[in-house]
Each structure stands twice: as structure tokens, then as C-alpha cells.
Amino acid sequence: MGNRSLTEADHALLFEPSLPTAEDPTQTQHRLHPFVDGNGSGLKASPQGQFGDKALTSTHRFIPSANEDSSPRDMGLDPSMRRRRDEWADRGAAKIIKEVVDPTTGELTKHVVKMGIKDFKFGEQLGDGSYSSVVLATARDSGKKYAVKVLSKEYLIRQKKVKYVTVEKLALQKLNGTKGIIRLFFTFQDEASLYFLLEYAPHSDFLALIKKYGSLNEQCARYYASQIIDAVDSLHTIGIIHRDIKPENILLDKDMKVKLTDFGTAKILPEEPSNDADGKPYFDLNARSKSFVGTAEYVSPELLNDSYTDSRCDIWAFGCILFQMVAGKPPFKASNEYLTFQKVMKVQYAFTAGFPQIIKDLVKKLLVKEPNDRLTIEQIKAHIFFQSVNFDNGSVWDDDPPEIQPYKISAEALKPLPKVPEPDATAKLANLQLAYNSHAETTPQTSAATCQDRSAISMTAATAAFNKDCTGQLKSGYNSNAFVRSSSSSTDREKAHKKTTNIHASRSSPSITSVSKGKEPRSRSADNFWSSYLKNLDEHVLLVKDIELSVEATESSAVDLETLAPDYKSPCDIDSPTESADKFYKRILVITNLGRGLIFAKKSPKMRKEREFELQFELKLNQVEKINLINDQMLQIEGPKTVFMACKDRAVLIEVWKLMKSEICAKPKVASSKLEHKMFDKFISQKVKKTKGKNQVPHVPESSRLVNGLPGSCMTKAPEGGGSNLKRPASLQTRSSSNYSKLLARSTEMRKNMTRTNEK
């Protein structure tokens, strides 16, 4: 253990045993009081933070063994060592003032008692940190359970971490008794180690909770987020910045309530002269600190960009955790710390599909690069997400936790936030809605074109609505005038009508390709047609296809999703399925001329509980009754049952929306988009013929992406002669093309059935 190398001077650098600063609620008969407060100042901490610093192994520390008892230990010790141990038992013990009430007289008497390692039975290891181990300890006298953080003196000195221990102790002493902060009862030491006797949090930490459930629903997120932010508020009020808030450092106590821990890298602010009349302590929470501390995924951009932090780093971390509660993963995560830092510096993160609007709005206002623009704690507490929470009457801490449930997408969660738009726009929206409703009421049996027109109006409105963010600001790059125009003038309505009728016409005739740019390709071969089609159209849905990919048992769904839908981000990062994908998913493929495939899956009874929310989609075009554009990532499709369809790309979503709308409008006729389907199938079958024997299956070519101005698209030219350099998706590469032909035949059969149903 190397503890012999410690000199008296070393011991002196480390803190003296001390007593707590607040009452132990678990002690009914006697209370523990502060006695001595040692301070280990004098050593400088390493300027480097604790990134990747998990180097301390248990060999560096003395971890008391389970049920350690003094007698067996004595047996192997030589007399000098035994003497030294006994010396330390006395010297290193905490001095506790015990208040004992005499049961007969009722008189309160105080006794000073010493408590140290011999007073506890040590049990299982609860956790391991960068410079400590935490073990369960049971008080021999009362049987009460504690968590004891054990730190090796030698390691602390060698690694220049003494300052962290001192800070942790000071911070916990200052915070003792504060709601939401783990309690430090007292500290003691022996020759080799320092011990923090902490309140035991039996329900592990918040990371474990999120992992267990995959995510948390809004109610749980609200409950825990309100406790976390309230605890952070308390810290800041006391002049302490945590600087390493992360799910692992949020413990859950016996009542499943939040307890912040690990104050080793905290900043204790000096008290500034107060200007307040009531003389309340004042702390400059915006005072900059240069220490590089924290954890990669939760570190704030100002520390990486400008090498400073202040109290607003805790707000940033809170934003990351709030995101994680719903998404199940932190917003900034990459394969290594360097890449994670890159993402943080650029504030590059994406909401998972179906992320509830209300939390999204809050997260957006927290994960803001410029700390001055981040919400303050006061503003966070006033955010609409916490509307039902009373931060003033203690209910945040008194209320029992809700039943823990993972987040599930719901129409309610996806509704745009109530906003206060300019009065003008509100009136216009109301007018538009009115026009739409009355139109719907007076024309129950509408022609396809009229219906399409109606769709166009509604879609324009919806588009305009989601072009606005929750604060009523228009998102840059999108023009809301379309909305204003369509609702304000009849001439414009006519224009809109014409435009959509054109689109509709385009779907029902081979001149479909001329719609977007007015060019009309006259290619004879399907390939040429395809090529021109791709060249001349903006992103367009070509096929919505029900596919059943017999994924090999070993293949993970992540591979599938990535290969088949390279641009589609899975709503919840299906990166570690425990069972093979085909057990869970049935797929619907939406192919666009950008080569995107969107895979949606149906919940299967075998699906693990925590994954349920990801997948709730089954689409049969001919069954679709109604389709609503909920926001820029989500469609609500009503048919035999209501399903949601998520897609990150607005343009694709709108195209799917249009396609479905046209299907609905075309009922009971044969859907106009059948032509496209046929063309697509013809194209595919030709490719299958060509590639037969080469084990190649055609796929909508990546190289054919040519959309103009669509976000995230690339500007590569379509290959001459269509998809001559088509690549087979990796996930299909192990399957023969005859399998693919079977799929094709299935899909054709399916379409025939669909047509038959439509014709009935």
C-alpha cells in the first residue's frame, strides 16, 4: 500500500478529523455536532481536470473489507504495527458530541465520543470514482447504514489531489442540511486513508435510472428536473458552483429523491461585501474560473472555447441532463472525448424524433453557447414546463416521486407550445382554420383536386405554423409569407390551388417530371427516365413500401437503419439492441429521389419495455383516413388506428404528407401515385435482371442526389443512364438477388391487393 512512505508532514497536509455541521435526521437519541474543521490547504491541485482520469485502481486505496472486525485483523499484525494502528484509531477518529437524554430526569447531557473505522462494519462497494472508492458501512451501535468514501492519502498526495478532498469536505460542510445535497456526517482517518461518512443513497444514481428505463416521461422528467434545478439553486445561493453535474453525480436516496454528490471539483466562491439592506451573503456567481474541470459530455462550451467557467456551467449541464432524461442519451456524445468536445464547442446536437415540444423549448434555451443568453435559474423555474411546480412551498421535495415510466410519443407532447404570436398572424390563422373547416363541412364528397387544394391550404398553414418556433420567432430560411398569402387573398388561394392541382396532375401522368422545373424528359428507357426524373425534381417521394427484411439473426438494427436510411437518424439511437432486429421491427420503406429510406417499425410484443416509445408505426396507404402534420418532424396518420411517423427531414415529411393526402383524396379511385410505384418497380426489376448472378441488388442511388437548396442534401449529379453505379445496401449484401426479387414480387402483390381494394 505504500503508506509507510507518508511522513508526519504529509499527514499534516491532509485534513484533521472533523465533525459534521448539521443534525443527522437518522439519529433520534443523540445528535452529531461539528467539532473541528481541518483544512488541507497548502498543496496545489493539478490544473488538469478529471477527464479520462479513472486511473486510481483499488490497489491505490485501502478499502475496508466486508464485515471487518478488529480481532482477526490483529492476528497478522506485528506489535509495532498494532501500536501504530491503535494510535491512529485515536488520533484519526472524529470527535462527536453525543447528546443523551436521561430517560428518568429528561435531562440532556453531552458527551464527547470518538468515532472511527472500528465503529463501522464495512460491506459492499457502492461505487468507484476517480480518486475514491465508496463502500457501504453499518454503524456497530445503531445498525444504521452509511456510505463511506475512502480516499488513499498516498494517492492524493502523489496525484496532487489534496485540494479536491479539501474542497469536497468544505463544500459539503457548507451545504449540510440543504435539500437535495448528500449529507456529510463526519470525516475520520487512519494512517493510510481518509474517510467521509456520507448519507447512504440506496437507489443508485440517475444514470442507472435513465439506463434502466431508457428514458423518462414528461412527468418524471419534470419531477426530477425540478429537484435538480432547485438543488443547483441552493448551491449557488450558498456560493458553491458544482462544475461536474452529471447523472452519475445525482444520487437517489431512500425515497427516490435527488441528492447531488461529488463536490471534489466544486468552486467555493468568496463572500463579497453585501449591498443588500438585509446583509445577506452575496456571491459573484459570474466570477470566472479557469480550472479545467468537468466531464466531457456535460462540459460547457465556454470552458472549451474560452477556458473559463462560472455558475452557468451548472445550467448548461442541467440542460444536457434534461435532454438525456427524454432522449436516453446525452446531447453531446461521440466516440471519444475530442470529438465530444468538438460537438460541444459547436453546440451540435439533435433532438430525437418525437421529443416533447415543451422540453425541447426549454433545452433549446439552456444549451446556448453564449452563457449570457442561457436562461437563469429563475427563468428556468418560470418556464412553462414547470408551470405546475411550486418552487416556493417545498413541495418539490415533499411530493412523492411519480411512477417511473419511459417517455412515449403522444400527440399532446408534440403539440406546438402555446405561443403569443403577433395579433395579425393569430387572426390570419383563425381565418384560415375557419375557411378550412367550413370547406370541409360543406363539401363532404370532394373531388380529388378540391381535396388536394384543401390539403394545400392546410399544409401551408401547418408549414407556416411549424416554421415558427415556440417563441413565435420565424425560423430563418423559411418564408412564412406562403401562409399569409394563402389565407389573405383569393387570388393567391387560386394560385395555390393551381399549384397543387399541377402537383396532383403531375402524379397522374407521365409528365410528372416536368412539375418542378418545367422540363419534360422524353427518355425512352426506364433508366433515362429515372435519371431525368432525378435531375429535374426536388426531393420527391417515389415509393412507400412495406418491406420485411429478413435481417440475419446476428445483424443489429443499427446496421440496417444506417445502411438503408443513411440520412435518417433513428429517433432513439437503436444502437445496442439486445436481440436481433427482425424480432422487433417490421419496416416500411419510404424512398425518395434523394435515396433516403425511412424505416419505421411496429411495436412487437417482444420489444423490451424501454424501447416501446421508439416505434409506433404501421402504414397501409389504402387504410389511411386522415393525415395531420403535427410539427416539422412528425406526421399523425389516422386509419384503423392512429400512428405517428417521424422524420427529421422536413422536405421528406412534407412529401410523404402530400403522397398520403393524394391517396386519401383519390379514394376510391386507384391512387395516382401508383404510376410512380409502377415506374419504380419497373426500374428495380430491370436492375435486378442486369445484376442477376452478381449478387447485386439495386438501391436508390446515393450518387443521384441533386436536390437544390434542401437542407442536408448533397449536390452530386445523377449518373448518366440512371443508376449505373448503384450500390447494394450493406445489410443486403449477404442476401441473394432472388431474395430481393421475392421482396419485389411481394410488394407488387401487395400493391395489386391495394388497387383491388381501392377499386371495390
Q: What is the CA radius of gyration of the chain?
A: 33
CB nearer to ligand ATP: pick between 176 and 633: 176
Q: What is the 3-state secondary structure (H, E, C) of 97-128?
A: EEEEECCCCCCEEEEEEEECHHHEEEEEEEEE
Quick note: the x/- pattern for ligand ATP over 344-363, rule CB under 6 A, is: --------------------
Per CB under 6 A, which region of 124-132, 313-321, 324-332, 462-470 contacts ligand ATP?
124-132
Q: Which of 22, 115, 117, 147 binds ligand ATP (CB under 6 A)?
A: 147
Q: Which SS3 state, helix, strand or coil, does residue 720 take? A: coil
User: In 3D, which of 88, 89, 110, 90 has the Cα closest to residue 99?
Assistant: 110
321, with CB counted inside 10 A (0-12, 13-18, 19+), is buried
Interface with ligand ATP, residue 195, by CB under 6 A: no
Q: For residues 622 and 663, is the Cβ–Cβ distance under 8 A? A: yes
CB nearer to ligand ATP: pick between 188 and 200: 200
Query: In DSSP terms, which residues pair with 546 in a beta bridge?
Result: 588
- Give the H or E element holding residue 3: none
Q: Shortest Cβ distance from residue 200 to ligand ATP (Å)? A: 5
Q: What is the DSSP letter of 416?
A: P
CB nearer to ligand ATP: pick between 173 and 536: 173
Q: Shortest Cβ distance from residue 327 to ligand ATP (Å)? A: 21
What are the strands of the beta sheet with 642-646, ordered from one edge? 626-631, 634-638, 642-646
Q: Shortest Cβ distance from residue 56 to ligand ATP (Å)? A: 8
Distance, CA of 267 to CA of 248 (rounded, Å): 19
Q: Which of 264, 328, 330, 723 binds ligand ATP (CB under 6 A)?
A: 264
Q: Shortest Cβ distance from residue 137 to ligand ATP (Å)? A: 10
Active site residues: 244
Q: Which of 18, 132, 324, 500 binds ligand ATP (CB under 6 A)?
A: 132
Which 4-63 residues touch ligand ATP, going by CB under 6 A?
50
Which 456-485 residues touch ligand ATP, going by CB under 6 A?
none
Interface with ligand ATP, residue 231, by CB under 6 A: no
218, with CB counted inside 10 A (0-12, 13-18, 19+), is buried
User: What residues contact 510, with CB distance under 8 A and at least 6 apart?
Assistant: 675
User: In 3D, which of 241, 53, 61, 226 has the Cα closest to residue 153?
Assistant: 61
Distance, CA of 101 to CA of 93 (rounded, Å): 24
Interface with ligand ATP, residue 200, by CB under 6 A: yes
Distance, CA of 215 to CA of 612 (rounded, Å): 11
Q: Which of 63, 201, 363, 624 binds ligand ATP (CB under 6 A)?
A: 201
Q: Shortest Cβ distance from residue 124 to ligand ATP (Å)? A: 10
Which 430-459 residues touch ligand ATP, going by CB under 6 A?
none
Q: Shortest Cβ distance from residue 247 to ligand ATP (Å)? A: 9
CB nearer to ligand ATP: pick between 184 and 367: 184
Angle between helices 423-442 and 448-467 (to 10 degrees): 160
Interface with ligand ATP, residue 291, by CB under 6 A: no
> Is 620 part of any known ligand binding site?
no
The Cβ of residue 685 has, within 10 Å, a number of other Cβ atoms equal to: 16
The three cell numbers of residue 432 are 384560415
Interface with ligand ATP, residue 135, by CB under 6 A: no
Q: Shortest Cβ distance from residue 26 to ligand ATP (Å)? A: 13
Distance, CA of 160 to CA of 510 (rounded, Å): 76
Q: Which of 182, 250, 484, 697 binds ligand ATP (CB under 6 A)?
A: 182
Q: Which of 129, 319, 331, 701 binds ligand ATP (CB under 6 A)?
A: 129
* Count of residues of this chain found to bind ligand ATP when the rule CB under 6 A is applied: 23
Q: Shortest Cβ distance from residue 466 to ligand ATP (Å)? A: 41
The Cβ of residue 214 has, within 10 Å, a number of other Cβ atoms equal to: 19
Q: Which of 19, 93, 94, 126 binds ligand ATP (CB under 6 A)?
A: 126
CB nearer to ligand ATP: pick between 261 and 704: 261
User: Which residue, judged by CB position, is nearest to ligand ATP in the bound state?
Assistant: 129
Interface with ligand ATP, residue 261, by CB under 6 A: yes
Q: Which of 205, 361, 453, 567 binds ligand ATP (CB under 6 A)?
A: 205
Tabulate helix, strand, coil % of the chain (nearest 5).
40, 15, 45
CA angle 114, 120, 125 (to 5 degrees): 135
Q: Which SS3 state, helix, strand or coil, does residue 186 take? A: strand
Give the CB-side neighbour count of residue 439, counting CA atoms within 13 A: 17
Q: Which of 15, 122, 131, 316 binds ligand ATP (CB under 6 A)?
A: 131
Q: Shortest Cβ distance from residue 172 to ligand ATP (Å)? A: 10
Interface with ligand ATP, residue 159, by CB under 6 A: no
Distance, CA of 608 to CA of 601 (rounded, Å): 14
Q: For residues 313 and 294, is the Cβ–Cβ distance under 8 A? A: yes
Q: Shortest Cβ distance from residue 241 to ligand ATP (Å)? A: 15
Interface with ligand ATP, residue 251, by CB under 6 A: yes
H helices present in 468-578, as ranges: 481-488, 490-508, 526-536, 557-564
Interface with ligand ATP, residue 527, by CB under 6 A: no
Per CB under 6 A, which region of 5-13, 194-202, 423-431, 724-732 contacts ligand ATP?
194-202
Interface with ligand ATP, residue 127, by CB under 6 A: yes
Task: Render the burial of 487-511: b for 16+ CB within 10 Å, e for the rest.
Answer: beeeebbeebbeebbebbebbbeee
Query: How many residues comprise the chain?
Result: 760
Interface with ligand ATP, residue 402, by CB under 6 A: no
Q: Which of 13, 14, 134, 630 binds ligand ATP (CB under 6 A)?
A: 134
Q: For residues 562 and 556, is the Cβ–Cβ distance under 8 A? A: no
Per CB under 6 A, which region of 120-128, 365-373, 456-464, 537-545 contacts ligand ATP?
120-128
CB nearer to ligand ATP: pick between 199 and 632: 199
Q: Which SS3 state, helix, strand or coil, does residue 83 take? A: helix
Interface with ligand ATP, residue 187, by CB under 6 A: no
Q: Which of 45, 171, 198, 327 binds ligand ATP (CB under 6 A)?
A: 198
Per CB under 6 A, which region of 29-37, 127-135, 374-382, 735-743 contacts ligand ATP?
127-135
Interface with ligand ATP, residue 210, by CB under 6 A: no
Q: Shortest Cβ distance from residue 314 to ligand ATP (Å)? A: 15
What backbone torsions phi and psi does residue 260 show, to the nearest 5 degrees? -75, 140
Q: Which residues bind ligand ATP (CB under 6 A)?
A: 50, 126-132, 134, 147, 149, 182, 198-201, 205, 248-249, 251, 261-262, 264
- Residues tagged in the binding site annotation: 149
- Residues tagged in the binding site annotation for ATP: 149
